A and B are shown apart, each in its own frame.
Chain A
Amino acid sequence: MQLLIQSIVTGILLGGLYAIIGVGMSIIFGIMGLTNIAHGNLMILSSFLIMVFSTQFVDSIIIALLITMVCMVILGFLFQKFLVNAVIDKGDEPALLVTFGLSIIIQNVLDLIFGADARSIASDFAQVNVVSTKYFSISGAYLANFIVAILVIAALTLIIRGTYLGRAIRSASDNTKAAELMGVNTKLYYAITMAIAMLTACIAGLLVGNTFVFYPYSGTQYLIIAFGVVVIGGMGSIVGTMLGGLILGLGQLLGAYFFGTGAQILSGYIIMLVLLTIRPAGLLSNAKRK
């Protein structure tokens, strides 16, 4: 019973982490219809950058995160402006394959520089149990993941719904031609969207690096998680991302509880497939609402 409660609590908290991994991918898909295969690798790239900055150059992890954010935003903006925007009008496949090429490049460059060793971002509070009751305990890292995830998703929702930037981005995605006629530079807003997605990837990179160890090739594993979160919730729905994260996190932990730890990842995949079969466009899909 104790273990079951612990599994549920951990599953929910893990779901928050999964949601923030997936949210960047979800807005990229929702706004420009691009499946960014490099998303997991970009996130792991920011984990490595944060690790390097926080151990070599500055003392504070937060400052390291800010420096990494600047780097990643510039990288994301340039990547979108010069590579993806050049092919995005030519159908789905070329753009998908550009991101595919980028993902191969990132993971091999990381492997070349850092080697295949396991890395982590050390922090003071990660392993400390901040909540400890008779039935369950919560570690600092997991609680931080969940709170940050909720804050980031709420902030994104506000930006997309409430600001001029958000309206411009949404108009570029709803009707590209009309937006351009109204004077919205859609390609520019695509690049800004990519930059925003990079911000979430940086935050996710910090949280993942603080919670688990990571390798140069971990990107693929997190890409599948991001995919799972996004397809369960519905591509392009930010709130759906949170839901998708919770379902996936809970599913994995309950799968591990009932069928042994070997089944943790497998049960996550099976839940994704079952949900995709029942609702082929996700639970809260944008496409459905239109």
Chain B
Amino acid sequence: MNRTEIKEARKTSPVIKPVIFAVIVLALISMPLWGSRYSLSVAVLVLLYLSLAQMWNLLSGYTGLTSLGQQAFIGIGGYAIAVTTQAYKMPLVAGFIVAGVVAVVFALVISAPIFKMSGVYFTIGTWIIAEALYIFFVNWKFVNYGIGYPITAAYRIRPEVMYWISLVVGLGSIVIVVLVLRSRLGLGLMAIRDNAASAEVRGVRLYRSKLIIFLIAAIWVAITGCLLFMNQAYIIPSSAFSIDWTIAMVFMVIIGGSGTIEGPVIGAIVYIILRQYLYNFPGISNIILGVIAIIIILIAPKGIMGFINKRFNLDIFSIRRKPKRK
């Protein structure tokens, strides 16, 4: 692309982009009117997994906090909605609020020890915390030990409403990431990811920036967890705190492209469609996912979006500053 073409693209894009976005958003909002029941349920999954992928990408792709323990917050969210609506008969909204508050408190408590660890140690530390939480819930009377709770409140909301809430959560995750990255905080974050020591010397407040991102991800993943378990209508510790959640997040972000905003969107769509299709092959579905993950890392380490970016120089969500290319 030469200089005039770039200028041309800059001139036209401010008009075209919002129109395309508006059309897509309108189409998504009106989906219950034109989509089938099945496509609606698949869309709910795509949106919720999109939210998980977006948050994991914010942590790992932009902040360098590669966590294998995000299932802790999914479990907290799921149990918050189960306990508030089932044991205390409170409305769903209360469940969401409790989920957010508990997630923030828990994230604050664990942030002190785990932010002392860096790199691989952080990754392992977060995973151990999630596993410890799982064991704790299995032995905790308040949450009914390992037997868990049904979430009957989930049956009372209509599929369209469930879809719209998921839409808010899914699209909300994109909005949050774009807003965060366009702020001063986001600029600091990418500086931290690329070189923590020099960023700190330059006046980026390392601990505070990491903590804010960690808290944002905690709240949003917990709320997504509420919806995921409303979708399943039953919660037990082994599914609530399963490493499978994080496996899914990692898979989506990697195949889509880590450190991009479009990557998790592509990743979530590919992952859910692939998973729906692979239901037909129960034994080997995970094997195929594993093989695909390895192949993609080998041929396109930056994921599908990284590959497209490099080839076509396409950038849908501008965050002004691009991640460092290796």
Contacts and interface: CB of A to CB of B under 8 A. Distances in A.
A29 B120 CA distance: 10
A104 B284 CA distance: 11
A265 interface: yes
B139 interface: yes
Contact of A280 (B66, B118, B290): B118
B248 to A, nearest CB: 11
Interface in B254-307: 254, 258, 283-284, 286-287, 289-291, 293-294, 297-298, 301
A228 B247 CA distance: 20
B243 interface: yes
A266 B135 contact: yes
Interface stretch (A55-63, A137-145, A171-179, A269-277): A269-277
B124 interface: yes
Interface in B108-135: 112-113, 116-121, 123-125, 127-129, 131-132, 135
Contacts of A269: 128-129, 131-132, 135
B326 interface: yes
Nearest to B124: A227
Given A35-B120, A93-B258, A276-B113, A112 B131 contact: no
Contact of B286 (A102, A108, A262, A281): A108
Contacts of A98: 294, 297-298
Interface stretch (A1-9, A67-75, A83-91, A197-205): A83-91
A61 to B, nearest CB: 29
Contacts of A266: 132, 135-136, 139
A112 B223 CA distance: 35
B194 to A, nearest CB: 12
B74 interface: no
Give the top 4 A-B pairs by smallest Cβ distance, nearest first: A104-B290, A277-B113, A269-B132, A101-B294
B135 A265 contact: yes
B128 A280 contact: no
B250 interface: yes
Contacts of B293: 97, 100-101, 104
A280 B131 contact: no
Interface of A: 29, 35, 83, 86-87, 90-94, 97-98, 100-105, 108-109, 111-112, 220, 224, 227-228, 231, 235, 262-263, 265-266, 269-270, 272-273, 276-277, 280-281
Nearest to A29: B120
A36 to B, nearest CB: 11
B117 A104 contact: no
A224 B289 contact: no
B254 A97 contact: yes
Nearest to A265: B135
A165 B326 CA distance: 32
B124 A105 contact: no
Given A87-B298, A269-B135, A276 B121 contact: yes
Nearest to B112: A277
Contacts of A86: 298
Nearest to A33: B120
9 contacts: A87-B297, A100-B250, A108-B283, A108-B284, A108-B286, A220-B243, A231-B121, A277-B113, A277-B117
A235 B124 CA distance: 12
B280 to A, nearest CB: 15
A112 B284 CA distance: 7
B139 A262 contact: yes
Nearest to A95: B297
A135 to B, nearest CB: 30
B106 to A, nearest CB: 14
B289 A104 contact: yes
Given A235-B120, A273-B132, A224 B127 contact: yes
Contacts of A100: 247, 250, 293
Contacts of B283: 108, 111-112
B326 A93 contact: no
Contacts of B139: 262-263, 266
B114 to A, nearest CB: 8
A111 B284 CA distance: 10
Given A111-B283, A273-B132, 7 more contacts: A93-B66, A102-B294, A104-B247, A108-B284, A224-B131, A262-B139, A270-B132
A25 to B, nearest CB: 11
B258 A92 contact: no
Nearest to B285: A108
Nearest to A224: B131
A107 B258 CA distance: 26
B287 A94 contact: no
B324 to A, nearest CB: 11
